[in-house]
Structure 1
Amino acid sequence: MVLFSKFRPLLQTVLKPAEQLQTIVKRWSSERRMQMMISEFHERKFFDLFHPLRRFMTRYVVQSFDERYEIFLHTIYTQVMRDQLKALERKVRRLEHARGDNKGWYYRPISDHLAELEQKKAAEKSDGYSAILAPRELPPPRTWPVPPQN
Protein backbone atom coordinates (compact mmCIF):
# COMPACT_ATOMS: atom_id res chain seq x y z
CA MET A 1 0.00 0.00 0.00
CA VAL A 2 2.86 2.35 0.80
CA LEU A 3 4.50 1.60 -2.50
CA PHE A 4 1.31 2.44 -4.33
CA SER A 5 0.97 5.78 -2.51
CA LYS A 6 4.53 6.77 -3.46
CA PHE A 7 3.94 6.23 -7.14
CA ARG A 8 0.37 7.46 -7.16
CA PRO A 9 1.09 10.77 -9.04
CA LEU A 10 3.09 8.86 -11.64
CA LEU A 11 0.34 6.31 -12.12
CA GLN A 12 -2.25 9.07 -12.35
CA THR A 13 -0.32 10.80 -15.11
CA VAL A 14 0.00 7.55 -17.03
CA LEU A 15 -3.54 6.32 -16.51
CA LYS A 16 -5.47 9.61 -16.55
CA PRO A 17 -3.52 12.21 -18.54
CA ALA A 18 -6.59 14.23 -19.49
CA GLU A 19 -7.64 14.76 -15.87
CA GLN A 20 -4.09 15.63 -14.87
CA LEU A 21 -3.83 18.13 -17.71
CA GLN A 22 -7.11 19.72 -16.67
CA THR A 23 -5.82 20.08 -13.12
CA ILE A 24 -2.62 21.74 -14.33
CA VAL A 25 -4.55 24.13 -16.55
CA LYS A 26 -6.92 25.01 -13.73
CA ARG A 27 -4.03 25.73 -11.39
CA TRP A 28 -2.18 27.90 -13.93
CA SER A 29 -5.21 29.87 -15.04
CA SER A 30 -6.68 30.66 -11.67
CA GLU A 31 -8.43 33.94 -10.95
CA ARG A 32 -5.62 35.05 -8.66
CA ARG A 33 -3.08 34.70 -11.45
CA MET A 34 -5.36 36.60 -13.83
CA GLN A 35 -5.68 39.41 -11.30
CA MET A 36 -1.89 39.60 -11.11
CA MET A 37 -1.60 39.86 -14.89
CA ILE A 38 -4.23 42.62 -15.25
CA SER A 39 -2.94 46.07 -14.36
CA GLU A 40 -4.81 48.22 -11.89
CA PHE A 41 -5.36 50.96 -14.51
CA HIS A 42 -7.15 48.62 -16.90
CA GLU A 43 -10.65 49.86 -17.72
CA ARG A 44 -13.04 46.93 -18.04
CA LYS A 45 -14.96 46.63 -21.28
CA PHE A 46 -18.16 44.65 -21.72
CA PHE A 47 -16.41 42.04 -23.87
CA ASP A 48 -13.66 41.30 -21.30
CA LEU A 49 -15.90 38.81 -19.54
CA PHE A 50 -16.50 36.63 -22.60
CA HIS A 51 -14.74 33.52 -23.81
CA PRO A 52 -11.63 34.48 -25.87
CA LEU A 53 -13.16 33.54 -29.22
CA ARG A 54 -16.41 35.33 -28.46
CA ARG A 55 -14.44 38.30 -27.13
CA PHE A 56 -12.54 38.53 -30.44
CA MET A 57 -15.79 38.33 -32.41
CA THR A 58 -17.52 41.01 -30.32
CA ARG A 59 -14.51 43.29 -30.41
CA TYR A 60 -13.52 43.14 -34.08
CA VAL A 61 -16.19 41.42 -36.20
CA VAL A 62 -19.73 41.91 -34.90
CA GLN A 63 -21.17 45.39 -34.39
CA SER A 64 -22.58 46.11 -30.97
CA PHE A 65 -26.22 46.99 -30.47
CA ASP A 66 -25.35 50.62 -29.67
CA GLU A 67 -23.28 50.98 -32.84
CA ARG A 68 -26.06 49.51 -35.00
CA TYR A 69 -28.57 51.83 -33.31
CA GLU A 70 -26.40 54.90 -34.02
CA ILE A 71 -26.02 53.87 -37.67
CA PHE A 72 -29.77 53.39 -37.94
CA LEU A 73 -30.42 56.83 -36.41
CA HIS A 74 -27.96 58.39 -38.86
CA THR A 75 -29.72 56.84 -41.85
CA ILE A 76 -33.08 58.09 -40.57
CA TYR A 77 -31.61 61.57 -40.09
CA THR A 78 -30.16 61.70 -43.60
CA GLN A 79 -33.47 60.54 -45.12
CA VAL A 80 -35.44 63.15 -43.17
CA MET A 81 -33.03 65.92 -44.18
CA ARG A 82 -33.16 64.82 -47.82
CA ASP A 83 -36.96 64.84 -47.74
CA GLN A 84 -36.99 68.32 -46.18
CA LEU A 85 -34.64 69.67 -48.83
CA LYS A 86 -36.70 68.14 -51.63
CA ALA A 87 -39.87 69.64 -50.12
CA LEU A 88 -38.15 73.03 -50.05
CA GLU A 89 -37.14 72.60 -53.69
CA ARG A 90 -40.74 71.75 -54.65
CA LYS A 91 -41.95 74.83 -52.76
CA VAL A 92 -39.48 77.05 -54.64
CA ARG A 93 -40.57 75.60 -57.99
CA ARG A 94 -44.25 76.07 -57.09
CA LEU A 95 -43.72 79.69 -56.02
CA GLU A 96 -41.68 80.41 -59.15
CA HIS A 97 -44.48 79.06 -61.29
CA ALA A 98 -47.24 80.88 -59.33
CA ARG A 99 -45.49 84.27 -59.38
CA GLY A 100 -44.19 83.99 -62.89
CA ASP A 101 -40.57 84.26 -61.87
CA ASN A 102 -38.22 83.63 -64.70
CA LYS A 103 -35.09 84.51 -62.76
CA GLY A 104 -34.50 81.15 -61.20
CA TRP A 105 -30.78 81.42 -61.78
CA TYR A 106 -30.22 82.51 -58.17
CA TYR A 107 -31.54 79.18 -56.89
CA ARG A 108 -29.29 76.20 -57.35
CA PRO A 109 -31.22 72.93 -57.07
CA ILE A 110 -29.92 70.69 -54.33
CA SER A 111 -28.46 67.46 -55.60
CA ASP A 112 -28.97 64.27 -53.68
CA HIS A 113 -26.24 63.93 -51.08
CA LEU A 114 -26.02 60.15 -51.43
CA ALA A 115 -25.65 60.43 -55.19
CA GLU A 116 -22.77 62.85 -54.65
CA LEU A 117 -21.12 60.42 -52.27
CA GLU A 118 -21.49 57.58 -54.76
CA GLN A 119 -19.90 59.71 -57.48
CA LYS A 120 -16.99 60.59 -55.19
CA LYS A 121 -16.49 56.94 -54.26
CA ALA A 122 -16.56 55.91 -57.91
CA ALA A 123 -13.99 58.59 -58.70
CA GLU A 124 -11.78 57.41 -55.84
CA LYS A 125 -12.08 53.78 -56.96
CA SER A 126 -11.06 54.53 -60.50
CA ASP A 127 -7.98 56.48 -59.33
CA GLY A 128 -7.96 58.37 -62.59
CA TYR A 129 -7.59 55.27 -64.78
CA SER A 130 -11.02 55.58 -66.33
CA ALA A 131 -11.26 57.36 -69.67
CA ILE A 132 -14.25 59.40 -68.49
CA LEU A 133 -12.97 60.38 -65.07
CA ALA A 134 -9.27 60.65 -65.86
CA PRO A 135 -7.86 64.16 -65.57
CA ARG A 136 -6.67 65.56 -68.84
CA GLU A 137 -3.11 66.58 -69.24
CA LEU A 138 -2.48 69.90 -70.84
CA PRO A 139 -0.49 69.85 -74.05
CA PRO A 140 2.96 71.39 -73.89
CA PRO A 141 2.94 75.16 -74.48
CA ARG A 142 3.48 76.33 -78.02
CA THR A 143 6.77 77.78 -78.92
CA TRP A 144 6.56 80.57 -81.42
CA PRO A 145 9.09 80.61 -84.19
CA VAL A 146 11.82 83.00 -83.31
CA PRO A 147 12.87 85.31 -86.16
CA PRO A 148 16.50 84.91 -87.12
CA GLN A 149 18.85 87.41 -85.57
CA ASN A 150 21.04 89.41 -87.98
Structure 2
Amino acid sequence: MVACGTKGVKAVSETVEILDSRDFWFCFLDIAVMTDETISVYDMAIYAALCSFASTRGRTCYPSVKALMKRAGCSYRTVHRSLRTLEDKGYIQHQYRGEKGQTSIYILKGGVSQGHGGVPHRHTRCATQTHRTIAIEL
Protein backbone atom coordinates (compact mmCIF):
# COMPACT_ATOMS: atom_id res chain seq x y z
CA MET A 1 0.00 0.00 0.00
CA VAL A 2 1.30 3.44 -0.85
CA ALA A 3 0.00 6.61 0.80
CA CYS A 4 0.48 9.82 -1.17
CA GLY A 5 1.13 13.10 0.62
CA THR A 6 1.62 16.62 -0.65
CA LYS A 7 5.40 16.47 -0.12
CA GLY A 8 6.08 13.02 -1.54
CA VAL A 9 5.19 9.37 -1.43
CA LYS A 10 5.25 7.36 1.81
CA ALA A 11 5.55 3.57 1.54
CA VAL A 12 3.62 1.51 4.08
CA SER A 13 4.35 -2.19 4.59
CA GLU A 14 1.97 -4.67 6.19
CA THR A 15 1.56 -8.43 6.38
CA VAL A 16 -1.75 -10.04 5.43
CA GLU A 17 -2.51 -13.63 6.41
CA ILE A 18 -4.95 -15.56 4.25
CA LEU A 19 -6.56 -18.74 5.56
CA ASP A 20 -7.86 -21.14 2.91
CA SER A 21 -10.91 -22.80 4.47
CA ARG A 22 -12.36 -24.44 1.36
CA ASP A 23 -13.72 -27.89 2.11
CA PHE A 24 -11.93 -30.19 -0.32
CA TRP A 25 -9.23 -32.83 -0.30
CA PHE A 26 -6.06 -32.60 -2.34
CA CYS A 27 -2.83 -34.53 -2.67
CA PHE A 28 0.74 -33.65 -3.55
CA LEU A 29 2.26 -34.98 -6.75
CA ASP A 30 5.98 -34.90 -7.34
CA ILE A 31 6.67 -32.77 -10.41
CA ALA A 32 9.72 -34.86 -11.34
CA VAL A 33 7.59 -38.01 -11.52
CA MET A 34 4.74 -36.38 -13.40
CA THR A 35 7.09 -34.89 -16.01
CA ASP A 36 9.20 -38.02 -16.53
CA GLU A 37 8.79 -38.78 -20.23
CA THR A 38 10.15 -42.32 -19.80
CA ILE A 39 7.11 -43.57 -17.87
CA SER A 40 3.63 -44.19 -19.22
CA VAL A 41 0.44 -42.32 -18.43
CA TYR A 42 -0.65 -45.45 -16.56
CA ASP A 43 2.45 -45.22 -14.35
CA MET A 44 1.58 -41.58 -13.65
CA ALA A 45 -2.03 -42.51 -12.89
CA ILE A 46 -0.90 -45.16 -10.40
CA TYR A 47 1.56 -42.72 -8.82
CA ALA A 48 -1.22 -40.12 -8.51
CA ALA A 49 -3.51 -42.75 -6.98
CA LEU A 50 -0.81 -43.68 -4.45
CA CYS A 51 -0.37 -39.99 -3.60
CA SER A 52 -4.09 -39.66 -3.02
CA PHE A 53 -3.94 -42.47 -0.44
CA ALA A 54 -0.81 -41.12 1.30
CA SER A 55 -1.08 -39.89 4.87
CA THR A 56 -0.92 -36.17 5.54
CA ARG A 57 1.91 -36.66 8.03
CA GLY A 58 4.18 -38.77 5.88
CA ARG A 59 4.76 -40.28 2.53
CA THR A 60 3.33 -43.73 3.15
CA CYS A 61 0.13 -45.46 2.10
CA TYR A 62 -1.23 -48.97 1.99
CA PRO A 63 -4.01 -49.27 -0.60
CA SER A 64 -5.00 -52.64 -1.99
CA VAL A 65 -4.44 -53.39 -5.66
CA LYS A 66 -8.23 -53.36 -6.07
CA ALA A 67 -8.38 -49.83 -4.59
CA LEU A 68 -5.59 -48.68 -6.95
CA MET A 69 -7.44 -50.25 -9.90
CA LYS A 70 -10.58 -48.33 -9.04
CA ARG A 71 -8.88 -44.99 -8.26
CA ALA A 72 -6.68 -45.01 -11.40
CA GLY A 73 -9.11 -46.75 -13.74
CA CYS A 74 -6.58 -49.43 -14.65
CA SER A 75 -6.59 -53.22 -14.88
CA TYR A 76 -5.00 -55.58 -12.34
CA ARG A 77 -2.10 -56.29 -14.69
CA THR A 78 -1.51 -52.58 -15.44
CA VAL A 79 -1.42 -51.74 -11.72
CA HIS A 80 1.23 -54.41 -11.05
CA ARG A 81 3.28 -53.39 -14.10
CA SER A 82 3.17 -49.71 -13.08
CA LEU A 83 4.07 -50.46 -9.45
CA ARG A 84 7.09 -52.41 -10.68
CA THR A 85 8.11 -49.55 -13.02
CA LEU A 86 7.72 -46.92 -10.29
CA GLU A 87 9.80 -49.03 -7.91
CA ASP A 88 12.49 -49.70 -10.54
CA LYS A 89 12.71 -45.93 -11.17
CA GLY A 90 13.07 -45.27 -7.44
CA TYR A 91 9.85 -43.25 -7.17
CA ILE A 92 8.30 -45.62 -4.64
CA GLN A 93 9.47 -48.26 -2.22
CA HIS A 94 7.31 -51.34 -1.78
CA GLN A 95 7.28 -53.21 1.55
CA TYR A 96 5.34 -56.37 2.28
CA ARG A 97 3.45 -56.38 5.58
CA GLY A 98 4.02 -59.97 6.54
CA GLU A 99 0.97 -62.18 6.35
CA LYS A 100 -0.88 -63.17 3.21
CA GLY A 101 -3.92 -61.02 2.55
CA GLN A 102 -2.53 -57.84 4.12
CA THR A 103 -2.02 -54.85 1.89
CA SER A 104 1.50 -53.72 1.10
CA ILE A 105 3.04 -50.47 2.32
CA TYR A 106 4.16 -48.01 -0.32
CA ILE A 107 6.63 -45.25 0.52
CA LEU A 108 6.54 -42.31 -1.88
CA LYS A 109 10.14 -41.37 -2.47
CA GLY A 110 9.57 -38.83 -5.24
CA GLY A 111 12.00 -38.02 -7.96
CA VAL A 112 15.09 -36.04 -8.73
CA SER A 113 14.76 -33.30 -11.30
CA GLN A 114 17.11 -30.72 -12.73
CA GLY A 115 17.14 -27.61 -10.55
CA HIS A 116 18.55 -24.19 -11.27
CA GLY A 117 21.68 -24.37 -13.38
CA GLY A 118 21.14 -28.05 -14.19
CA VAL A 119 21.97 -29.16 -10.65
CA PRO A 120 19.83 -32.14 -9.59
CA HIS A 121 17.73 -31.67 -6.48
CA ARG A 122 15.16 -33.81 -4.72
CA HIS A 123 11.65 -32.45 -4.48
CA THR A 124 10.24 -32.80 -0.98
CA ARG A 125 7.14 -31.68 0.84
CA CYS A 126 7.12 -28.59 2.97
CA ALA A 127 8.71 -29.49 6.29
CA THR A 128 6.13 -27.58 8.30
CA GLN A 129 3.13 -29.20 6.57
CA THR A 130 1.24 -25.87 6.85
CA HIS A 131 -0.12 -25.75 3.34
CA ARG A 132 -3.46 -24.14 4.19
CA THR A 133 -2.15 -20.80 5.51
CA ILE A 134 -0.30 -18.31 3.34
CA ALA A 135 1.42 -15.15 4.55
CA ILE A 136 1.78 -12.40 1.98
CA GLU A 137 4.17 -9.48 2.44
CA LEU A 138 2.84 -6.31 0.81
TM-score normalized by structure 2?
0.17
Q: Which has the higher strand share?
A: 2
TM-score normalized by structure 1?
0.16
Higher relative contact order (CA 8 A, sep 6+): 2
Q: Which has the higher helix share?
A: 1
